[in-house]
Homo-oligomer: A and B are copies of this chain.
Amino acid sequence: MRNFRLLIAYDGTDFHGWQRQDGLRTVQGELEPALQQITGRPCPCNASGRTDAGVHALGQVVNFHAETRLDPPTLLKALNALTPRDLLVRDIGVVPDTFHATLSALTKRYRYVIDNGRIGPDPLRLRQTWHVHVRLDEAAMNEAGRALLGTHDFRSFETEYPNRATSVRTILDLAVSRTGDQVTIEVEADGFLYNMVRAIAGSLMLVGAGKRPVGWLGEARAALSREAAGPTAPPQGLYLLHVTYPDDRHSP
């Protein structure tokens, strides 16, 4: 048995998220049958984390154990031939048995993209951005985001989700920038609570729109209550960019 690590990208629009669910089209639900077809055995996959319905990935990491004589480049081609076009296996490699895409992840980096077009949403970016009409002040958003850097209890940005041992996480980077009509939020952390990036994006939007002062975001965080923060931004603006692991010498 070898342990394989995949790097995958997908357009989340037509997937009900990563996790296999009966009767629904999911990324795991497309990937695992393709692997079983190739290897002749069930190949349960672990992902770095679940992505929700509509959320995209450029660098989702997945691992699975399989017995196969195929070399990684052949396996890559076979997988892409058997999976739908809105899912692309970008790379594949063999990793040590101990590697686990979920448990071994050190940090994750997400991007949230806002279409800030004044007249209306860009028709060519509808599936991949959140349109916000009000002109956003990206410098204010970037400044506000500093209050979230470091190790904190982030339950103000967590959609209720039972069985969480702790809502303490460490945000390593949070930056907001603008290119033309597009406002981009990038955030990296050692882990994220349920809907956390989308709650941060919705809260930063309130600051950018001038509906809350820059200092409000730190207060919202300190209140330890979901009602204290802003709305949960919609899924189609969110991208899982990159996941890092302790020993990336073995990475694809």
Question: What residues of chain A have their CB less than 8 Å away from a CB belonging to chain B?
Answer: 9-11, 56, 58, 76, 80, 85-91, 117, 119-124, 126, 128
Instruction: Flag if B11 contacts A119 (CB, 8 Å).
Output: no
With beta carbons under 8 angstroms apart, the residue of B76, B86, B91, B123 that contacts A11 is B123
C-alpha gap A11/B93 in the complex (Å): 37
Instruction: Flag if A91 contacts B119 (CB, 8 Å).
Output: yes
With beta carbons under 8 angstroms apart, the residue of B91, B124, B126, B128 that contacts A56 is B124
Instruction: Flag if A85 contacts B123 (CB, 8 Å).
Output: yes
Instruction: Flag if A119 contacts B85 (CB, 8 Å).
Output: no
- Interface-centre pick from A76, A86, A87, A88 (highest chain B CB count, 10 A): A88
C-alpha gap A90/B121 in the complex (Å): 10
With beta carbons under 8 angstroms apart, the residue of B85, B121, B122 that contacts A126 is B85
Instruction: Flag if B122 contacts A88 (CB, 8 Å).
Output: yes
C-alpha gap A121/B81 in the complex (Å): 12
With beta carbons under 8 angstroms apart, the residue of B56, B89, B124 that contacts A119 is B89
Contacts of A85 in B (CB 8 A): 121, 123, 126
Closest B residue to A86 using CB positions: B123
Question: Distance (Å) between the CB of A86 and the closest chain B CB?
Answer: 5
Given contacts A80-B119, A119-B76, A119-B80, contact A124 B89 (CB under 8 A): no
